[in-house]
């Protein structure tokens, strides 16, 4: 038993460490420095083992602490009229019921289970039970300090606080035994990550039962809650015999982990992405084009991908137009809000960088371009001639700019109208800057995504993303846009800065693409 636990631990550690090392090797500069023999280095494994052990200890307590401070006590504070101990027990009891089938460990498909039981053929029953009881131990030990700390603080008697973790564990054990019994009866495997809509319905109802009735002054009397928790202790003990007697752990895990193979096998996963992208191609046979050469290729591409390009940009534009109309109506109905809204429009322009980031179609466009077009055409030499690459880049840039410009215009004009309706501005130039700068933001995103796609072309022939740099650039883009959300600046200053930046960026991007894209726009190998 000890050995099984030790092996499970070292297995988990090994794949965690290798996972981290693999991730490190994806970072452009580090890749050169780190040798291929990295995975052999013993010191790293020891260090990682220590980290894992620490994490094991911290995770046993941290999650429970957060759970108590937010879900149980945090929300519990809202119900001031009711006795604290009753509310505490009411919420904890119902959340425990939810937890007993939403956080089972036994029915959670994890990688370590897959490696141990399916790939390494460890004894399924022993492996499952040893790890399950270890998990239960962590539940009891992890809950104990907090049931005492928060429980006594809410006026729950100490003796009961000491027994509470056992009650919680008991309920989990009982639920697990009941699920196994159900499996034996109906042969139906349960997976806590793929809950049926009925289970989700039950969770919603239970959540409502936990938090809604106290608002109206109804809670389970503490005697009832305490009684149920106490009953769970012998029930849990009885369930242990049931769990240890169960024989079909291999079958259960085989079914549970079946979906995981696809997820972990990167070729299977990329295949799924590829298929998903092929589904985006319109099967409409009436689509044709009268153009020639690259314009022909482009027109067919845009028309056959209408669903993800023009249709979604149209939807976004309608939503934006609707929101603008709603804001205008609000301004009309609530004259006293005018000056506030006017102030917001005048200084919240940086916020719209993030909004433009969210609604631009750049990443969808480049992904579809690769998956359904460049992925195959890049294997033909003719397609890689420098003049052809640049010609197609121009055409594509024009298309994505058009697609992104529509919602940008709606937003820009809408904001200008709102500004006008809320009392306007002393300087009419503000309207112009507002509209132009929002348009510039959309142009920036169009250029940005297409440029990094052409310069970094991150995919290989198997459609896997192979470039760490590409991922980093995407993340930095997100972080910058997100950070700008916090900035408040007058339209004139930020707008002019945006326009200047956009112009400079376009020039720089064009120069880079013209110089480097013929060399960089290749399939990764």
Partner 1 sequence: MKFVIEHLAKSFEKKEVLRDIDFTFVEGKIYGLLGRNGAGKTTLFNCLNRDLKADSGNFYIEENGLRREVAAEDIGYVLSTPTVPEFLTGREFLKFFMDINEKYIKNPKSIDEYFDYMSIEPEDRDKLLKDYSHGMKNKMQMLINIIAQPNILLLDEPLTSLDVVVAEEMKQLLRSLKQDRITIFSTHIMDLALDLCDEIVLLSHGELEVVEKTDPDSREFKDKIIAALRGEGNE
Return residues touching partner 1 (CB under 8 A).
35-36, 278, 281, 283, 285, 292-294, 296-297, 300-301, 304-305, 372-373, 375-377, 379-382, 384-385, 388, 461, 522-523, 525
Question: Minimum distance between the CB of residue 300 and partner 1, rounded to whole angstroms?
Answer: 6
Residue 460 C-beta: closest distance to partner 1, Å? 10
The torsion defined by the Cα of 430, 436, 442 and 445, in degrees rounded to 10, comes to -90
Based on CB atoms, which residue is closest to partner 1, 242 or 384?
A: 384
Q: Which DSSP letter does residue 123 get?
A: -
Q: How far is the CB of 382 from partner 1 (least distance, A)?
A: 6
C-beta closer to partner 1: residue 273 or 300: 300
Q: How far is the CB of 386 from partner 1 (least distance, A)?
A: 8
CB 24 → partner 1: shortest distance, Å? 15
- Residue 439 has φ and ψ, to the nearest 5°, of -60, -40
The burial of 475, by beta-carbon neighbours within 10 Å (0-12 exposed, 13-18 middle, 19 or more buried), is given as: exposed
Q: Give first-to-last CA distance, the chain, whole Å.
A: 46
Between 486 and 525, CB nearer to partner 1: 525
Q: How far is the CB of 468 from partner 1 (least distance, A)?
A: 16
**Residue nearer to partner 1 on the CB measure, 163 or 523:** 523
Q: Which is nearer to partner 1, 12 or 304 (CB)?
A: 304
Checking 407-410 for CB contacts under 8 A at 24+ apart, the result is: 407/313, 407/316, 407/317, 407/320, 407/359, 407/442, 408/356, 408/438, 408/439, 408/441, 408/442, 409/435, 409/438, 409/439, 410/317, 410/320, 410/321, 410/324
CA distance 205 to 212: 10
- Between 76 and 518, name the residue whose CB sits nearer to partner 1: 518
Instruction: Name 348's bridge partners.
Output: 489
* CB closer to partner 1, 40 vs 525: 525
- Strand-pairing partners, residue 460, are 524
Residue partners of 90: CB distance under 8 A and separation at least 6: 210, 213, 214, 219, 220, 225
Nearer to partner 1, 70 or 379 (CB): 379
Closest distance to partner 1 from the beta carbon of 279 (Å)? 9
Q: What element of type H or E holds 375?
A: helix 375-377
User: Could you give the 3-state DSSP secondary structure of residue 348?
Assistant: strand
**Smallest distance, partner 1 to C-beta of residue 523, A:** 6
């Amino acid at each position: 038993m000890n050995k099984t636990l030790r092996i499970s631990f070292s297995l988990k550690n090994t794949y965690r460490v290798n996972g981290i090392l693999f991730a490190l090797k994806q970072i452009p500069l580090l890749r050169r420095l780190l040798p291929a023999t990295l995975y052999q280095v013993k010191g790293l494994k020891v260090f990682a083992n220590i980290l894992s052990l620490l994490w094991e200890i911290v995770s046993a307590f941290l999650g429970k602490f957060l759970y108590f401070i937010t879900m149980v006590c945090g929300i519990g504070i809202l119900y001031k009229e009711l006795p604290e101990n009753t509310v505490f027990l009411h919420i904890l009891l119902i959340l425990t019921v939810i937890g007993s089938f939403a956080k089972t460990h036994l029915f959670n498909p994890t990688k370590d289970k897959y490696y141990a039981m399916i790939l390494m053929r460890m004894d399924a029953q022993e492996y499952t039970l040893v790890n399950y009881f270890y998990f239960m131990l962590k539940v009891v030990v992890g809950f104990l300090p907090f049931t005492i700390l928060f429980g006594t603080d809410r006026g729950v008697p100490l003796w009961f606080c000491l027994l509470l973790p056992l009650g919680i564990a008991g309920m989990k054990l009982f639920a697990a035994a009941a699920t196994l019994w159900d499996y034996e009866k109906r042969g139906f495997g349960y997976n806590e990550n793929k809950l049926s809509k009925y289970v989700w319905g039950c969770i919603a109802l239970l959540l409502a039962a936990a938090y809604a009735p106290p608002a109206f002054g109804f809670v389970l009397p503490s005697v009832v809650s305490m009684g149920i928790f106490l009953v769970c202790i012998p029930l849990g003990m009885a369930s242990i015999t049931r769990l240890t007697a169960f024989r079909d752990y291999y079958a259960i895990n085989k079914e549970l982990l079946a979906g995981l193979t696809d997820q972990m096998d990167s070729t299977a996963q990329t295949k799924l992405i590829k298929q998903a992208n092929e589904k985006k191609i319109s099967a409409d046979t009436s689509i044709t084009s009268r153009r020639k050469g690259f314009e022909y290729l482009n027109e067919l591409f845009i028309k056959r991908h209408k669903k993800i390009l023009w249709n979604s940009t149209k939807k976004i534009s309608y939503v934006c137009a609707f929101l603008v109309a709603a804001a205008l109506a609000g301004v009309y109905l609530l004259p006293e809000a005018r000056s506030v809204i006017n102030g917001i429009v005048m200084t919240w322009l940086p916020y719209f960088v993030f909004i433009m980031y969210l609604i631009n179609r750049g990443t969808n466009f480049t992904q579809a371009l690769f998956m359904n077009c460049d992925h195959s055409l890049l294997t033909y030499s003719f397609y890689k001639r420098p003049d052809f690459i640049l010609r197609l880049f121009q055409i594509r840039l024009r298309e994505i700019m058009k697609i992104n410009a529509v919602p940008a215009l709606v937003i820009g004009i809408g904001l200008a109208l709102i500004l006008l309706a809320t009392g306007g501005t002393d300087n009419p130039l503000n309207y112009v800057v507002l509209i132009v700068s929002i348009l510039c933001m959309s142009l920036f995103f169009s250029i940005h995504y297409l440029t990094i796609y052409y310069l970094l072309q991150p995919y290989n022939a198997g459609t896997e993303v192979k470039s760490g740099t590409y991922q980093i650039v995407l993340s930095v883009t997100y972080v910058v846009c997100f950070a700008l959300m916090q900035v408040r600046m007058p339209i004139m200053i930020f707008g002019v800065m945006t326009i200047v930046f956009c112009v400079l960026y376009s020039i720089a991007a064009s120069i880079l693409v013209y110089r480097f894209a013929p060399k960089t726009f290749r399939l990764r190998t």
